[in-house]
A and B are shown apart, each in its own frame.
Chain A
Amino acid sequence: EIVMTQSPATLSVSPGERATLSCRASQSVSSNLAWYQQKPGQAPRLLIYGASTRATGIPARFSGSGSGTEFTLTISSLQSEDFAVYYCQQYNNWPRITFGPGTKVDIK
């Protein structure tokens, strides 16, 4: 099983600031990585796939980068609606897809 780790566990950011979230895979997943956003009481929402491609309707302030084992999700200027938990997911090793434990972005 490919183990995904995310850091930090919690990121405190002020509105308008930049947020950088990290995701690491225990072995290479190539660019087969997705990012999701989840708000309390809501289902996850697909943000990024293929490590860097924004999903339909996702604002340009969200960007993804990386390949292999190291990945980054950047939110260029945090809006109030961006405070949420963010999960990475590898799908290189399908069907044994795995998610990271999440990074909570909260208001500083």
Chain B
Amino acid sequence: EVQLVESGGGLVKPGGSLRLSCAASGFTFSSYSMNWVRQAPGKGLEWVSSISSSSSYIYYADSVKGRFTISRDNAKNSLYLQMNSLRAEDTAVYYCARDSGSGSYPNWYFDLWGRGTLVTVSS
């Protein structure tokens, strides 16, 4: 089955750190750019970060630049998001999302999403 499964969310204090993981299965993970998208409670979607298939290109939203680090391990079919210096406004469900293109250039819209993992930043 083609799927993405996120894990690693939880409750963390402001200033703390958390590492999210996304396990991919059912498709050739190494062929796709991958993304993290978040959704604060009751709010809309916000793109967080992207990484190309070979990790050559990495991008971040301004809101997380310098605090979050995206990475991937194609041998383990896994995507990661290291989140440091967490703030209350980082509280959200974090989704792992696959870019719809499997070529050299991403399409920048997403055709496969995980169910998400909730990160709560609170003292």
How far is A101 from B45 in the complex, measured between Cα atoms in Å? 8
Measured in the bound complex, the distance between the Cα atoms of B43 and A99 in whole Å is 11
Contact between chains at B47 and A43 (CB < 8 Å)? no
For B47, give its contact among A36, A97, A100 (CB under 8 Å): A97
| Smallest CB separation, A58 vs chain B (Å) | 11
> Is A95 in contact with chain B by the CB < 8 A criterion?
yes
B53 is an interface residue with CB less than 8 A from chain A: no
Question: CB < 8 Å: which of A46, A87, A95, A100 contacts B100?
Answer: A46
CB interface residues, A 37-60, toward B, < 8 Å: 42-46, 49, 55-56
Candidates A32, A36, A95, A99; contact of B50 at CB < 8 Å: A95
B110 CB to closest chain A CB (Å) equals: 6
Question: Are B44 and A87 interface neighbours, CB within 8 A?
Answer: yes
Q: What CA separation (Å) do A104 and B115 show in the bound complex?
A: 20
Q: Which of B40-60 contact A (CB under 8 A)?
A: 44-47, 50, 59
Q: Please tell me if the beta carbons of A43 and B116 are within 8 angstroms of each other in the complex.
A: yes
Q: Are A97 and B116 closer than 8 Å at their CB atoms?
A: no
Find out whether the CB atom of A95 lies under 8 angstroms from the CB atom of B109.
no
Within 8 Å of chain A (Cβ to Cβ): is B27? no
Contacts of B109 in A (CB 8 A): 34, 46, 49, 89, 91, 97
B residues less than 8 Å from A95 (CB atoms): 47, 50, 59, 108
From 93 to 123 in chain B, residues with beta carbon under 8 angstroms from any chain A beta carbon are 95, 100, 106-111, 113-116
Q: How far is the CA of A98 from the CA of B61 in the complex (A)?
A: 10
In the assembly, what is the distance between CA of A98 and CA of B110, in Å? 13
Within 8 A of A (CB), among B57-100: 59, 61, 95, 100
Question: Chain B: residues with CB nearer than 8 A to chain A?
Answer: 44-47, 50, 59, 61, 95, 100, 106-111, 113-116
Which residues of A are at the interface with B, using a C-beta cutoff of 8 A?
32, 34, 36, 42-46, 49, 55-56, 87, 89, 91, 94-102
